[in-house]
Homo-oligomer: A and B are copies of this chain.
Amino acid sequence: MTKPNILIVNDDGILAPGIAALIEAVKTIGTPYVMAPDKPQSGQGHAITIHDPIKVKEVFHFTGLKAYKCSGTPVDCVKIARHVMYKDIDFDLCVSGINHGSNAAINIIYSGTMSAAMEASLEGIPAIGFSLCDISMEADFTAATHYAAKMIRWALDHEFKKSLLLNVNIPKLPIEEIKGIKVCRQGKSGWKEDFMEVKNPRGESYYWMTGEFVLYEEAEDTDINALGNGYISVVPSMHDLTAHPALEEFRYLEDSQ
């Protein structure tokens, strides 16, 4: 039986421990093909590089597989992997991560990890983004790797729409304390922004963005609630941003001219 071909991308960069963990998970199941940013690209959202060229270099620190680093964004990684470096490979799945830090709730919007997964699903490759709710570079990926392998096997074993896009978040817990998997919706939340002002030697100000995650609801069916209760959250996601319930509400605009 042919082994499945699995594209591996991330947003924390080619040297992040999270991508090494994901490669280990994939190796037990299929053939990994890696393309990751050459530097951390957290918070890049769905950015693409159109005003600059993109540089790609093969890397050799992973053994027994093909891997490249790319000067572009996580979404660029998917595009150039699919259309240049791995253009002859027919991918069965794309996995992104394992991200260092949560991409639950509104974080999906800012996340390079999830945007890379979304880009793959837009191109017809089923995709799963994995995130561990621990931003540390020394995070313990044991549970995350175990469950990533499980979800990858599941995804490959099932018939589903080519547009499959799952946002999987794993709580920061020892594997024996994880209660299971919950399928949920994206929790309503935002960031309470703040900026740290610094003066340069000429007395001119510049600003570092900081912020605090704020949850706008207490509800049982959200990803945030699942994670808070020790479950892995799985949010089936999509790229249609239409507010469908609002279509009729705005219809009268058509007669306003």
Contact = CB atoms under 8 A, between A and B. Distances in A.
Contacts of A185: 240, 242, 244, 247
Contacts of A118: 109
A154 B106 contact: no
Contact of A43 (B47, B167, B236): B47
Nearest to A252: B183
Given A122-B106, A257-B181, A209 B48 contact: yes
Interface stretch (A27-35, A89-97, A192-200): A192-200
A49 B209 contact: yes
A72 to B, nearest CB: 8
Interface string A104-132: 00101110000100100011000000000
**Most central of A47, A115, A208 by chain B CB within 10 Å:** A47
A50 B56 CA distance: 24
A205 B84 CA distance: 11
A251 to B, nearest CB: 5
Interface in A32-54: 40, 42-51, 53-54
A250 B161 CA distance: 12
A1 interface: no
Copies per complex?
A: 2
A209 B79 contact: yes
Given A40-B51, A154-B256, A186-B241, 15 more contacts: A45-B47, A45-B115, A48-B110, A53-B207, A54-B206, A54-B207, A106-B239, A122-B190, A181-B257, A236-B242, A236-B246, A236-B249, A237-B241, A237-B242, A239-B241
30 contacts: A45-B47, A45-B115, A46-B47, A46-B109, A47-B47, A48-B209, A54-B206, A54-B208, A55-B207, A56-B205, A56-B206, A83-B193, A109-B241, A122-B190, A123-B190, A154-B256, A166-B250, A180-B254, A180-B257, A181-B257, A183-B247, A184-B247, A185-B240, A186-B240, A188-B240, A234-B250, A236-B249, A237-B241, A238-B241, A238-B246
